[in-house]
Amino acid sequence: METSRDDFVIAIRSAFLKKGTQQRFSLLGLIFFSIIFLILGSLNFKAINYIKIAINEVVYRSSFIVSGPENFLKDNYLKAQNHFNLYKEYEKNKSELTTLRSKDLLNEFIVNENKKLKNIVEDYVIESDTILAKVLSDKGSPFLKSTIINKGSKHKVNLGMVAMDGEYLIGKVIEVNYLSSRVLLLSDLNSKIPVTVEPNGIQSILSGTGKDYGIIQYSKKDEIIENQSIIYTSGAGGLFKAGIPVGRLNINYLNEEKKVTFFSDFSQLKFVKIYSYISSEAK
Amino acid sequence: MTELRNKNFIRKILSQIPLILLFLSVLNNFDFNYLGLKYFSFNFSYILIFYYSLKKNESLGYIYIFIAGLFSDVVIGTPIGLSSLMYLILCGAAAYLRNITLRPSLIKDCIFFLITILIVNSLLFIILNFIFNYQLEYFDQIINIICTFLLYFLFSNLFDFFENYFVGRTNAG
């Protein structure tokens, strides 16, 4: 019994303390070093933050280059898939275009009327200058659904700014480096934004799931939420402007799960627009 | 003479392949996510680090593994130092197994690997969830662990093949 305990201790000591051939540091030393890194990083220690920013800049660029071949394959695979669906898409687009043309005439009038009304209630209507950013990396890790963009504090990107794909909301900036930033996508498990479910105007919270869809949370059960409703930002909290389209609701009547399919395909992002919204009065 | 030098050069490059693979895997984070398979994700870095720490200790220096961990944290977005810690624990477990093993067998390695990744992922989950307040999907973690464990068989044989036929055995494995 005594001998087996000794063997265990010797094996552990040898594994963690002994430096092998071509090993300059012992394992235990490096483990301590990473724990110190972790603790100081969580305490926002300045030196660690500078190291982190430097690593970020190098790694984001390297990751973009290294991902090149994989992205090339992915793009070609999707391109081929699109070619197969071309005729079907054309027919669908043709019918949609006819409908949209008729709606467009009405839309212009409503937009102008809306602007006037928002000015009266001093809502968030004025956008900052648009910053167009290229997506460097969109690694969907099990931990974080985020994308890296090639604009940072040098280009006046700030924490909390809104990221859009065309007219659709995709997320917000959660990390800013000098030449790059990280955008937390709406699909991330930690993303929660206030939304309005239209046409009934129900206020709710859209939560990310870590998958490619979101779910509607915290709405009362007796409220009538229609299937295929459109989800817009509600503007509550002041971060987002009200009325930015987010996605479409699909209710699963078996388990009462309210899934939101995002209008933007987060795996296909190439360029994103970064804004911040300020009230007309503040401007 | 030149041929001999060329052969040595190629061998040197080939012996660095694990290191190159490690950095490519952390920078590219390749786990076939884009295929959109619902129940498939694995951690290639874990397999690579465990295998090479166990079989060819000199191929991957601990300091490189530490740096790869920092890179991984930046790419994934986890608190800096966390992946390094997990990678180094994995190295420690592999080194312990190496020390106590007299007759290596793939099955034993795999079982030990499974236990190690269960511990490492539990630790990761605890740190992320309770200290840093990250929300993680428990089910995804389980899928990741199972796929990583199952793919260890495949990659272990592939690495064996690579080491035997391309690099050549330089020490007892």
DSSP, residue by residue, A80-123:
HHHHHTHHHHHHHHHHHHHHHHHHHHHHHHHHHHHHHHHHHHT-
Q: What is the reported pLDDT for B6?
A: 67
Q: What is the reported pLDDT for B119?
A: 93
Q: How many helices (H) and strands (E) does chain A have?
A: 5, 14
Taking alpha carbons only, the member of B14, B107, B94 closest to residue B46 is B94
Q: Do A142 and B140 touch (CB under 8 A)?
A: yes
Closest Cα in chain A to B20: A66
User: Number of folded domains in chain B?
Assistant: 1
Asked if residue A56 is part of any domain, the answer here is yes
- Which residues of chain B neighbour A175 with C-beta distances below 8 Å? 77
Asked if residue A282 is part of any domain, the answer here is yes
CATH number of the domain enclosing A221: 2.40.10.340
Q: Do B74 and A190 touch (CB under 8 A)?
A: no
Helix (H, G, I), strand (E, B) or coil at B36: coil
Round to whole Å and give the CA distance between A184 and A30. Answer: 31
Q: What is the reported pLDDT for B173?
A: 42
Candidate from A113-122, B52-61, B62-71, B103-112 with smallest mean pLDDT: A113-122
Q: Do A66 and B27 touch (CB under 8 A)?
A: yes
CATH number of the domain enclosing B12: 1.10.1760
Q: What is the reported pLDDT for B118?
A: 94
Q: Do B29 and A21 touch (CB under 8 A)?
A: no
| pLDDT mean over B48-57 | 88
More confident residue, A63 or B88: B88
| pLDDT mean over A178-192 | 85
pTM of the model: 0.71
- The per-residue pLDDT for range A202-214, each reduced to its tens digit, is 888 888 887 788 8
Flag whether pLDDT at B7 surpasses 80.
no
Asked if residue B172 is part of any domain, the answer here is no
Domain boundaries, position A31: 26-62
Flag whether pLDDT at A245 surpasses 90.
no
Structure tokens at B26: 């952390």
Residue A78 touches chain B, beta carbons under 8 Å: no
Q: Are A228 and A173 contacting, i.e. CB atoms less than 8 angstroms apart? A: no
Asked if residue B155 is part of any domain, the answer here is yes
- Which residues of chain B neighbour A56 with C-beta distances below 8 Å? 74
CA distance B133 to chain A (A): 9
Asked if residue B14 is part of any domain, the answer here is yes
Asked if residue A126 is part of any domain, the answer here is yes
- Which residues of chain A neighbour B29 with C-beta distances below 8 Å? 63, 139, 141
More confident residue, A269 or B148: B148
Asked if residue B140 is part of any domain, the answer here is yes
- Which residues of chain B neighbour A12 with C-beta distances below 8 Å? 96
Q: What is the reported pLDDT for A247?
A: 87
- The per-residue pLDDT for range B22-33, each reduced to its tens digit, is 888 888 766 555
Q: What is the reported pLDDT for A157?
A: 86
Count chain A–chain B contacts defined by CB atoms under 8 A.
Answer: 146
CA distance A221 to chain B (A): 25
| pLDDT mean over B83-100 | 90
Flag whether pLDDT at A282 surpasses 80.
no
| pLDDT mean over A150-172 | 86
Q: What is the reported pLDDT for B128?
A: 86
Chain A residues 80-119 with CB within 8 Å of chain B? none
Residue B27 touches chain A, beta carbons under 8 Å: yes
Asked if residue A105 is part of any domain, the answer here is no
CA distance A177 to chain B (A): 12
Q: What is the reported pLDDT for A159?
A: 85
Asked if residue B124 is part of any domain, the answer here is yes
Asked if residue A189 is part of any domain, the answer here is yes
What's the complex ipTM? 0.82
Flag whether pLDDT at B107 surpasses 70.
yes
Q: Are residues A142 and A273 in the same domain?
A: yes
Closest Cα in chain B to A42: B79
Q: What is the reported pLDDT for B171?
A: 46
More confident residue, A185 or B57: A185
Helix (H, G, I), strand (E, B) or coil at B61: coil
Q: Are residues A57 and A128 in the same domain?
A: no
Taking alpha carbons only, the member of A261, A89, A283 closest to residue A187 is A261
Average pLDDT, chain A: 79
CA distance A44 to chain B (A): 11
Closest Cα in chain B to A13: B96
Flag whether pLDDT at B172 surpasses 80.
no
Q: Are residues A168 and A267 in the same domain?
A: yes
Closest Cα in chain B to A191: B135
Residue B168 touches chain A, beta carbons under 8 Å: no
Q: Are residues A133 and A253 in the same domain?
A: yes
Structure tokens at A208: 């990310």
Asked if residue A15 is part of any domain, the answer here is no
Identify which of A11-15, A109-113, A114-118, B75-79 has the greatest average pLDDT.
B75-79
Candidate from A228-232, A274-278, B36-40, B63-67 with smallest mean pLDDT: B36-40
Percent of chain A past pLDDT 90, that is, above it, reads 0
CA distance B97 to chain A (A): 8
User: Number of folded domains in chain A?
Assistant: 2
Q: Are residues A50 and A163 in the same domain?
A: no
Q: Are B20 and B47 contacting, i.e. CB atoms less than 8 angstroms apart? A: no
Q: Are A174 and A193 contacting, i.e. CB atoms less than 8 angstroms apart? A: no
Q: What is the reported pLDDT for B89?
A: 92
- The per-residue pLDDT for range B119-156, each reduced to its tens digit, is 999 999 888 888 888 877 788 888 889 999 999 999 99
Residues near A165 by beta carbon (within 8 Å), at least 6 away in sequence: A264, A269, A272, A273
Going by pLDDT thresholds of 50, 70 and 90, the confidence category of residue A139 is low
- The per-residue pLDDT for range A116-134, each reduced to its tens digit, is 777 666 665 556 678 888 8
Domain boundaries, position B41: 2-167
More confident residue, B102 or B113: B113
Asked if residue A4 is part of any domain, the answer here is no
Chain A residues 33-72 with CB within 8 Å of chain B? 33-38, 41-42, 48, 51-52, 55-56, 59-60, 62-63, 66-67, 70
Angle of CA points A124, A125, A130, to nearest 5°? 110
Flag whether pLDDT at A171 surpasses 80.
yes
Asked if residue B149 is part of any domain, the answer here is yes
- The per-residue pLDDT for range A34-90, each reduced to its tens digit, is 898 888 888 888 888 888 888 888 888 887 887 778 778 878 887 888 888 888 888
Q: Do A66 and B144 touch (CB under 8 A)?
A: no
Round to whole Å and give the CA distance between A21 and A35. Answer: 25
Asked if residue A74 is part of any domain, the answer here is no
